[in-house]
Structure 1
């Protein structure tokens, strides 16, 4: 059984600089997922799950912008202190953190890379990570693989994530499911949380411990 108190919802990069159509870093489809992300946050908070906002915030000189984004970033400098407020690093009001939420600023794609996320979740006894946000092939996928590498169960809320095209979305969701992530809808999450999800990581850990005791 997946216990809510041992679960964290990690929402990634749902910020004006990625959502707003005027931003040079705009992700097609991201705005359409705001409602699903908000519903997941609400259901997770009611159940006592940990909420983590994993976000980007760029230096005004662009020194920490990913090279693949730099040329586009120069057209308006989104997610930095020098950009127009409509494309800054804030999350829309529906998704904004509350006092009990955690906020981490990540320096690259994965929410685990260059952050204290693993140490924070481990200290809190978190065993399962639920991913929402943008984009699916980059930040969601890299966070998914890092979480699996650290031994977490991983769930991806499909309609609360987004990609630049539907084909890219489908392919990356399929790859994450194949490697061990559970995929569900925001409606299913809000109705049953993770009641239908196998505690694969816990089950395997217990099997290994059982074998060790028998030697």
Structure 2
């Protein structure tokens, strides 16, 4: 067991896990959710530092990349999303009231900016859909559900950020639509409540196991997904792959 899994077991009650010991990889889609410079590159305008023992933005990238590559190796579909606003503010809606600076033409929260681009080293391959979204859930106003239905997906695996915003809304919407959702905890991070001058008066040290990241994971696990570490999900994939290989061999032998 890794040090991260020790923390995960300590701070998140996973006793109600529902994902079986093996899954059908042909019906599993890995969703590379918003792996963008904005929050995950140290030079990003809203870079996420480690708070309360959660991974920092940069620390989440290794597990995310590993699982995307594993998905390709094992024949799972990978679907990408990019979060942001229209450069002219056409789709900002009520968020413009909450965050007036997002209305600025040069806002780093806009699509088409360096901040809005995928982190270097994360490159979609041919056949991997990439879609833009302007709200937290990947299902809102996009063709994401159609992509999943086309691939007859049963399992939706969320890899990416933010664990307190886009991850839980996407997980909840997926669960409500009947998908068996897995959230890979260490492949994502969450913006603390009070970073980047949002409210310096309350920008204090967060105790280990507290903060948006851990609280969100606790809620995700309690209600609409299974939370796993990247190592746990990788082990699930390897078990499932071995089981499918064995089943195929048995069918071939029986047909002889």
Return the TM-score normalized by structure 2.
0.68
Q: Is the 8 A contact 2:40 2:61 kept in 1?
A: no
Question: Which residue of the partner structure matches residue 18 of structure 1?
Answer: 39
Q: Does 1:9 align with 2:16?
A: no
Q: Does 1:71 align with 2:71?
A: no
Offset at 1:58?
2.9
Higher fraction of strand: 1
Q: Is the 8 A contact 1:34 1:94 kept in 2?
A: no
Question: Which of 92, 99, 105 is the aligned partner of 2:126?
Answer: 99
Q: Is the 8 A contact 1:2 1:194 kept in 2?
A: no
Task: Show structure 1 runs of 4+ deviating over 6 A.
Answer: none
Offset at 1:40?
0.8
How many residues are aligned here?
Answer: 193
Question: Which of 170, 174, 179 is the aligned partner of 2:218?
Answer: 174
Offset at 1:69?
3.8
Question: Which residue of the partner structure matches residue 188 of structure 1?
Answer: 232
CA RMSD between the two structures: 2.3
Return the TM-score normalized by structure 1.
0.80
**Hey, what's the Cα distance between the residues in 2 that align with 1:57 and 1:137?**
16
Query: Which has the greater radius of gyration?
Result: 2
Offset at 1:55?
0.9
Show structure 1 runs of 5+ residues with no match.
Answer: 197-215
Question: Which of 23, 31, 37 is the aligned partner of 2:64?
Answer: 37
Show structure 2 runs of 5+ residues with no match.
Answer: 1-21, 50-55, 193-209, 241-256
